[in-house]
A and B are shown apart, each in its own frame.
Chain A
Amino acid sequence: MNAIEGCGLGLRESFADEIVSVADRIDFLEIVPENLMHMNRRERKRFERIRDRFPVIAHGLSLSLGDTSNIDIDHLHRLKDFLDAWDIDVYSEHLSFTSFDGVQSYELLPLPMTDTMVDAVVAKIDRVQEILGRPLIIENPTYYTVLESTMDEPAFIGEILKRSGAKLLLDINNLFVNGHNHRFDVMAFLDAVDMERVAYCHVAGHLEYRDDLFIDTHGMPVKEEVWDLMRQVMAKKALPVLLERDNNIPPLKELMEEFETMKAIYDGE
């Protein structure tokens, strides 16, 4: 796997035409393969220019690791062809389900944290890694309801990582949101995570929907509390970190100001 380092940005269509102009400030880009697997010629040429200037990693949305009875082999082969064609080694997905029996919700839905689910997810990750020919990185998602579970989230994730060999994409905003919504100690969570198994981190904004419920919208600036948590993570280990923004995307110039905040924290300023 190609090592990534430094500070990255999630590439979005709204600023794809101008991203090359800030290439000297961004260490890597993260793309959503499902959004780029049907590019026309103009979009391919643009992506070629981007690919020439940045290390690129991929962050999938539709693998649905939790839909353990269903694996779309054709989609995985198309995905492998895409990743191979663009020489993208690093690929991550969410530890959740987005579809059931192939029917898509396009939303990250929670998994029951049980031994049975660990077994099933590990088996699916094994198959995915085998077909894609590259190790998988799994992200800790947000969840707004806790399905019947027999273990806590760090134990659930830790067991899957240990048995599958996958690495962790530690989403710092998700950790913060989950800690708030489910009233757990985020530092205890971090203490339980083997930082050697963390490939990189995400930071993003969330919506304070109610006092007792924050929602991971990726539609607003990163909150100060999340920057603080990022400082805590970086104090444990300096990890590559990426800014995600999916909705309400500001002009690139404005987004880069937030990116520079992240970079300053990464640099320990």
Chain B
Amino acid sequence: MEYANADIYRKLIFYRFDETLSASFPLFRRQTGDKKWKKLVEDFIVWGPQSHYVWKSAGKFRCFLLETKRVGRRHKDLLWFEWHSLALSRLDPIEPSLSGKFRFSRSYRLADSVRLRRLRYSIHTDCRKTRGNFWTLLFVTRKGEVSWIETTPFIGELLASCDGGEPLKKVVEPIAKRYGVAYKDAKAILERPLASFMDEGIIVA
């Protein structure tokens, strides 16, 4: 049995999700045709988002797309970027560091307000071209804005290995060896960017 104006409710519910998800994933929305987008949103509604907070439905939408294998690798990269840009905007920036001068003898970890991932595709073109193994760092600035930078594979791997355990020297050595770089040369090259990462609150002692 179809109730009167059931079609209106279908449209209203669709509109709610369409509005939120389009605003949360503007690049992905633009790269997905209208017909496919409509189908994805409708299927997501049936899949059953469970959050009291409308903004969090965007994260559920990404889970839905990944779990149901509805997107390829290039869009997985894009969805990661757009979702974490949104989620990080809800986090506080790191307080100015009181941990003193940057040293290779200390251990560091990525701050909670940072996300790091090796992206294969260039998300800011049309995601169709691979870019090699560059890494993208998304973080909350001291002013509370979400920003991002791309890093080399060397620094990307290094940051990914910083878990607050071993001193940085011990983390750098095996990676430098793998890249055929002497530790003292690696240290000289890394000191400046890593010190600025500490100043930015990207890595914390």
With beta carbons under 8 angstroms apart, the residue of A106, A144, A147, A209 that contacts B17 is: A106
**A183 — which chain B residues lie within 8 A by C-beta?**
none
Q: Is the CB of A104 within 8 A of B9?
A: no
Q: Is the CB of B52 within 8 A of A72?
A: yes
Stretch of B26-34, B89-97, B169-177, B193-201 on the interface side: B89-97
With beta carbons under 8 angstroms apart, the residue of A37, A107, A209, A215 that contacts B53 is: A37
With beta carbons under 8 angstroms apart, the residue of B20, B52, B89, B91 that contacts A75 is: B52
Q: Measured between alpha carbons, how far is A106 from B15 in the docked complex, in Å?
A: 10
With beta carbons under 8 angstroms apart, the residue of B16, B48, B144 that contacts A106 is: B16
Nearest CB in chain A to that of B87: its residue: A38
Q: Is the CB of B49 within 8 A of A38?
A: no
With beta carbons under 8 angstroms apart, the residue of B8, B17, B53 that contacts A38 is: B53
Most buried by B among A40, A104, A215: A104
**Contact of A62 with B52 at beta-carbon distance under 8 Å, contacts A106-B13, A106-B17 already known:** yes
| CB proximity of B3 to chain A, nearest CB, Å | 4
Task: Say yes or no for B12: interface residue by CB 8 A criterion.
Answer: yes
**B3 — which chain A residues lie within 8 A by C-beta?**
145, 147
Q: Is the CB of A42 within 8 A of B144?
A: yes
Which A65-112 residues sit within 8 Å CB-CB of chain B?
A: 72, 75, 99, 102-107, 109
Q: Mark A6-41, 1 if CB is under 8 A from B, else 0.
A: 000000000000000000000000000011011111
Q: Is the CB of B9 within 8 A of A41?
A: no
**A40 — which chain B residues lie within 8 A by C-beta?**
89-92, 144
Q: Measured between alpha carbons, how far is A177 from B185 in the docked complex, in Å?
A: 73
**Contact of A107 with B13 at beta-carbon distance under 8 Å, contacts A145-B3, A145-B4, A147-B3 already known:** yes
Q: Measured between alpha carbons, how far is A75 from B56 in the docked complex, in Å?
A: 14
Q: Interface of chain B, helix or strand or loop or mixed?
A: loop
**B92 — which chain A residues lie within 8 A by C-beta?**
40-41
Task: Say yes or no for A131: interface residue by CB 8 A criterion.
Answer: no
Task: Say yes or no for A265: interface residue by CB 8 A criterion.
Answer: no
Which A204-263 residues sit within 8 Å CB-CB of chain B?
A: 209, 213, 215
Q: How many B residues touch A, CB cutoff 8 Å? A: 27
Q: Is the CB of A145 within 8 A of B9?
A: yes
Q: Measured between alpha carbons, how far is A105 from B50 in the docked complex, in Å?
A: 9
Most buried by A among B12, B13, B20, B144: B12
**Contact of A103 with B9 at beta-carbon distance under 8 Å, contacts A40-B90, A41-B92, A41-B144 already known:** no
**B17 — which chain A residues lie within 8 A by C-beta?**
106
**A62 — which chain B residues lie within 8 A by C-beta?**
52-53
Nearest CB in chain B to that of A63: its residue: B52
Q: Measured between alpha carbons, how far is A35 from B55 in the docked complex, in Å?
A: 8
**A144 — which chain B residues lie within 8 A by C-beta?**
4-5, 8-9
Which B48-86 residues sit within 8 Å CB-CB of chain A?
A: 48-55, 57
Nearest CB in chain A to that of B143: its residue: A42
Q: Measured between alpha carbons, how far is A242 from B92 in the docked complex, in Å?
A: 32
Q: Is the CB of A213 within 8 A of B144?
A: no
Q: Measured between alpha carbons, how far is A213 from B6 in the docked complex, in Å?
A: 13
Q: Measured between alpha carbons, how far is A240 from B35 in the docked complex, in Å?
A: 46
Chain B residues engaging chain A, CB cutoff 8 angstroms: 3-6, 8-9, 12-13, 16-17, 20, 45, 48-55, 57, 89-93, 144
What 3 pairs across the A-B complex have the smallest Cβ distances? Answer: A103-B48, A144-B5, A62-B52
Chain A residues engaging chain B, CB cutoff 8 angstroms: 34-35, 37-42, 62, 72, 75, 99, 102-107, 109, 144-147, 209, 213, 215
